[in-house]
Amino acid sequence: MLKIKIIIFTLLFFVLGSLFFLKAQETGGTLDQEQIPVEDTAQAKPDQEYLKGSIIKILEEGNQDVYGQIQYYQRLQIKISNGSVKNKEIEVYSSLESPDSPLKYKQGDKVTVLRLYMDDGQEQYYVTDYQRMNYLGILLVVFTLLVLAVGRLSGLLSLIGIVYSFCVVFYFMLPKLSLGGNPLISLLISTILIAPVIFFLSHGLNKKTTISLVSTLISIIITALMAVFLISISRLTGSASEESLFLQYTMGQSFNISGLLLGGIIIGSLGILADVTISQASIVEDLSKSKIKLTFKETFLKSLELGRSHILRSIISLVFLYISCSFPLLILFTKADIPSSVIINSEIISEEAVRILVSGIGLILSVPLTILLSIKFLTPVTTRRAVKKFTK
């Protein structure tokens, strides 16, 4: 019976999610032609095509002088394996900093080739990267098999939830953010679409999961409001990184780049909040089933005590997660002759600080909230009366 409920609930959210995706595509999943001036379209960059190819021969390699700088180069013969020029053999030059570079190509390498159609009718080819899809595919298969082997049905449902979440992010949330305007509503709607599916598929359709879901959504709203406030008063634009600046240049001034910063905080908090709220609700549920009858205060304090170490571990994981994503930047700052106060005050460091601190505060606030709701709805009647008396 429970499995049937889960399947029905999942199908319902898939249907609702699909309606949102269709609506997003109708109202602005991509830019309308009317939004792009004709003169800008005429001056747009040349048409391009990404192709797959295999290096069949290294025709030439060595050092060359480029504006007074010695660079290592390779002249490659590549056979295209897909696209409009499938099976065509081309020659491409590739420049490297040194012959010891890990990007040095060898015969048999699978590469990605960019084909540009120039205004004068000529074509130019560039090697842009290695082909890594085969390795990523193998890694994905191993990951999926391990999840299914350990989690079985729960693992399968969790994988379905992950796929659904990616669909919401890529087909609803990101298209909405690309339109500009206030990102908060789009992000909260995306969270409401994602969270129930993730929770109920992973943990079942029951009171404990529902309480954890409600606690998570309330905590997400608090976290989002704090993030909006701090981004505003700190004057964070979200454009400190090169990719953000490139995106701003590509999308135009109407694009709200700070919405991506807010989205990163909300989506980043969702997963770790789910873990903490489920754990806290489970603690309260276990205490309510014990033979020892506890009052509201005793249940609250005991739950807080048992969950304290988990909270601290989650905060530490959150901090190190963000730090690990910023290693190149941190190393760059340590090598630069810049005062520490200037480094800490810089926007790119302030952004990471806001991510960590706001997410951490939302995480901490979710704990007592989850405990209170769990005591209210998961504990025996006597304890519930104590909660009612306490709240008065």
**pLDDT digit string (tens) for 370-388?**
999 988 887 765 555 555 5
| Residue 83 per-residue DSSP state | G
Mean pLDDT of 198-214: 86
> Is the pLDDT reported for residue 182 higher than 50?
yes
Distance CA 109, CA 53 (A): 9
> Is the pLDDT reported for residue 287 higher than 90?
no
Query: How many angstroms separate the Cα of 298 from the Cα of each of 4, 246, 292?
Result: 38, 55, 11
Helix axes 296-324 and 258-289, enclosed angle (nearest 10): 140
Between 389 and 319, the more confident residue is: 319
- What Rg do the C-alpha atoms of the chain give, in angstroms? 27
> 10-19, 117-126, 241-250, 259-268 — which is least confidently predicted?
10-19
Do the beta carbons of residue 124 and residue 46 sit within 8 Å? Answer: no
Identify the pLDDT of residue 99: 72
Q: Residues 6 or more apart from 73 whose CB is under 8 A from it? A: 60, 61, 62, 63, 64, 93, 94, 95, 96
Nearest to 49 by CA among 126, 133, 110: 126
Q: Can you tell me which residue has the tokens 């963000």?
A: 322
**pLDDT digit string (tens) for 36-47?**
343 343 344 447
Distance CA 105, CA 295 (A): 69
Mean pLDDT of 246-264: 68
Mean pLDDT of 236-257: 65
Do the beta carbons of residue 320 and residue 352 sit within 8 Å? Answer: no
Identify the pLDDT of residue 214: 92
Beta bridge partners of 178: none
Helix or strand or coil: residue 31? coil
Distance CA 110, CA 167 (A): 29
**pLDDT digit string (tens) for 43-85?**
444 478 888 999 998 888 888 777 777 778 888 888 988 888 8
Q: Residues 6 or more apart from 199 whose CB is under 8 A from it? A: 209, 212, 213, 216, 274, 278
> Is the pLDDT reported for residue 198 higher than 90?
no
* Domains of the chain, earliest start first: 48-134 (2.40.50), 137-391 (1.20.1640)
Q: Across all residues in the chain, what is the average pLDDT?
A: 77
> Is the pLDDT reported for residue 113 higher than 70?
yes
- CB atoms < 10 A from the CB of 360, how many? 19
> Is the pLDDT reported for residue 358 higher than 80?
yes
